[in-house]
A = this chain, B = another copy of it.
Amino acid sequence: MVVEYDGTGFAGWARQPGLRTVQGTLEDALAMLRGGRPVDLTVAGRTDRGVHAWGQVASYAGAPVGLKNLNAVLPDDVAVLACEAAPDGFDARRDATSRTYCYRICTRRVAPVFEHRRALHWPYRCDPATLRRCAEILMGTHDFTAFTPTETDHVHFRRTVVRAEWHARGDILEFWISADAFLRHMNRVLVGTMLEVAENRRSLADFAQLLEGAPRRAAGVTAPPHGLHLAAVAYGGPLLSRDG
């Protein structure tokens, strides 16, 4: 399944008792359409509270259900864009070869009405050329220990970035990044730290050094979740969904 959701009204992807989550909402809808049989979803990228998705991918063991029936029982803030049979043994998380995220920032002076909860409002000094230099430094394999919380379940901290770009469209800045996998909060700490560089509060050399296994306290703040969008997931071939 390819899934789109507005993260504003969800306590993140992962099912939690008593909370409205994307996983819980989808599993309940699927179970209803499958005569009450419970569904256990596996997901390509667990998203935190407030994070959005344009092209999340999830899988379950069982036959696909009709797209029209499924969307008819889903609320307005989540939509399934495709529900198709996958090869035997397919696992949305394990088989993914890369994930693409987009972090959106609105740089105009007045807080945006139509980008509210979909972009970080950042009416401060923010040089796009400097951000692009940061993106160039990010390309390749690095140790991202500095960009994930200290108390983490991760064992390995090396990740390979295959795409990192900053794009400007009017007063919207977008950071696009693709990697084999991401650490918890990695994109949000990357954005928070790059914004410090773009404000001239941190040097490019310092940013480069952070990618060599520096401790978490050496990096910048964690940018808020509502600018972040899981854009697409790839499975050894072309990206499955929307890409910039």
Residues of A within 8 A of B (CB): 4-6, 52, 54, 67, 71, 76-81, 109-114, 116, 118
Give CA–CA (A215, B111) in the complex, Å: 44
A67 touches B110 (CB 8 A): yes
A76 touches B113 (CB 8 A): yes
A110 touches B5 (CB 8 A): no
* CB closest chain-B residue, reference A4: B113
A77 touches B113 (CB 8 A): yes
B113 touches A78 (CB 8 A): yes
A108–chain B nearest beta-carbon distance, Å:
8
Query: Contact check: which of B81, B110, B112 meets A110 at CB < 8 Å?
Result: B81
Query: Contact check: which of B52, B76, B112, B116 meets A116 at CB < 8 Å?
Result: B76
Query: Contact check: which of B110, B116, B118 meets A114 at CB < 8 Å?
Result: B118
Which residues of the partner chain B approach A78 to less than 8 Å between Cβ atoms? Answer: 113
Give CA–CA (A100, B112) in the complex, Å: 20
Give CA–CA (A113, B67) in the complex, Å: 15
Give CA–CA (A80, B67) in the complex, Å: 41
For A80, A81, A112, A114, which residue has the most chain B Cβ atoms within 10 angstroms?
A: A114
Give CA–CA (A81, B114) in the complex, Å: 13
A114 touches B4 (CB 8 A): yes
Query: Contact check: which of B6, B52, B113 meets A79 at CB < 8 Å?
Result: B113
B110 touches A80 (CB 8 A): yes
25 A-B pairs (CB sep. < 8 Å): A4-B110, A4-B112, A4-B113, A4-B114, A5-B113, A6-B113, A6-B114, A6-B116, A52-B114, A54-B114, A67-B110, A71-B110, A71-B111, A76-B113, A76-B116, A77-B113, A77-B116, A78-B113, A79-B110, A79-B111, A79-B112, A79-B113, A80-B110, A81-B110, A114-B118
Which residues of the partner chain B approach A79 to less than 8 Å between Cβ atoms? Answer: 110-113
Give CA–CA (A49, B35) in the complex, Å: 41
Give CA–CA (A157, B112) in the complex, Å: 36
* CB closest chain-B residue, reference A3: B113
